Amino acid sequence: MGTFPTMSTLASNSSAAPLSTGSSAASRMNVSRRVSEMKPSVTVAFMNRAKTMKSQGLDVLGFAAGEPDFDTPRIIKDAAIEALNAGMVKYMPTLGDPETRKVLAEKLVRENGIPTTADHIAISAGGKHSLYVACQCLFDFPAPGEPPQEAILPVPAWVSYAPIIEIAGGKVIELQTTAASDFKITPEQLKKAITPRTRGFFINSPSNPCGTMYSPSELKALAQVIAEAARTTAPNLVVVSDELYEKIVYGGIEHFSIGSVPEIAERTLTINGLSKAYAMTGWRIGYAAGSGVFGKKLIDAMGVLQGQMTTNITSFTYPAIRAAILKTADEVEKMRRAFADRAAAVHARLTRVPGFKCPKPTGAFYAFPDVSAHFGKTSPGGNGTPGRKINSAMDFCEALLAEQYVAFVPGEDFGGCGKNCVRISFACSIDQINKGIDRVETFVAGLK
43: contact with ligand GLU by CB under 6 A: yes
CB–CB of 257/243 below 8 Å?
Answer: yes
**Beta carbon nearer to ligand GLU, 68 or 96:** 68
Angle between helices 393-404 and 42-55 (to 10 degrees): 10
247: contact with ligand GLU by CB under 6 A: no
Question: Which span sits near ligand GLU by CB under 6 A: 37-45, 106-114, 138-146, 302-310?
Answer: 37-45
198 three-state secondary structure = strand
418: contact with ligand GLU by CB under 6 A: no
Q: How far is the CB of 369 from ligand GLU (least distance, A)?
A: 17
Restricting to residues 149-178, name those near ligand GLU by CB under 6 A.
158, 160
**Beta carbon nearer to ligand GLU, 65 or 264:** 65
Q: How far is the CB of 74 from ligand GLU (least distance, A)?
A: 24
Q: How far is the CB of 248 from ligand GLU (least distance, A)?
A: 13
CB–CB of 289/273 below 8 Å?
Answer: no
Q: Cβ-closest residue to ligand GLU?
A: 66
Calpha distance 139→143 (Å, rounded): 12
**Beta carbon nearer to ligand GLU, 276 or 377:** 276
**Beta carbon nearer to ligand GLU, 68 or 259:** 68
Calpha distance 210→421 (Å, rounded): 10
**Beta carbon nearer to ligand GLU, 149 or 212:** 212
- Candidate residues 50, 60, 63, 66; the one interacting with ligand GLU per rule CB under 6 A: 66
- Candidate residues 94, 117, 207, 208; the one interacting with ligand GLU per rule CB under 6 A: 208
185: contact with ligand GLU by CB under 6 A: no
Number of residues that bind ligand GLU (CB under 6 A): 9
- Single-letter code of the amino acid located at 107: K
Restricting to residues 379-408, name those near ligand GLU by CB under 6 A.
none
Question: Which span sits near ligand GLU by CB under 6 A: 36-44, 84-92, 192-200, 307-315?
Answer: 36-44
Calpha distance 435→432 (Å, rounded): 5
**DSSP secondary structure string, 366-424?**
EE--B-GGGTTEE---BTTB---EE-SHHHHHHHHHHHH-EE-EESGGG-GGGGGBEEE
CB–CB of 278/324 below 8 Å?
Answer: yes
Angle between helices 127-138 and 292-307 (to 10 degrees): 110
- Candidate residues 24, 38, 41, 142; the one interacting with ligand GLU per rule CB under 6 A: 41
CB–CB of 140/169 below 8 Å?
Answer: yes
Question: Which span sits near ligand GLU by CB under 6 A: 41-49, 88-96, 228-236, 314-322?
Answer: 41-49
Instruction: Classify strands 389-390 and 377-378 as parallel, antiparallel or unpaired.
Output: antiparallel
- Single-letter code of the amino acid located at 80: A
- Please state whether the peptide bond connecting residue 209 to the residue before it is cis, i.e. omega within 30 degrees of 0: yes
**Beta carbon nearer to ligand GLU, 76 or 364:** 364
Instruction: Classify strands 409-410 and 61-62 as parallel, antiparallel or unpaired.
Output: unpaired
Q: How far is the CB of 121 from ligand GLU (least distance, A)?
A: 21
Q: How far is the CB of 392 from ligand GLU (least distance, A)?
A: 20
Residues that bind ligand GLU (CB under 6 A): 41, 43-44, 65-66, 128, 158, 160, 208
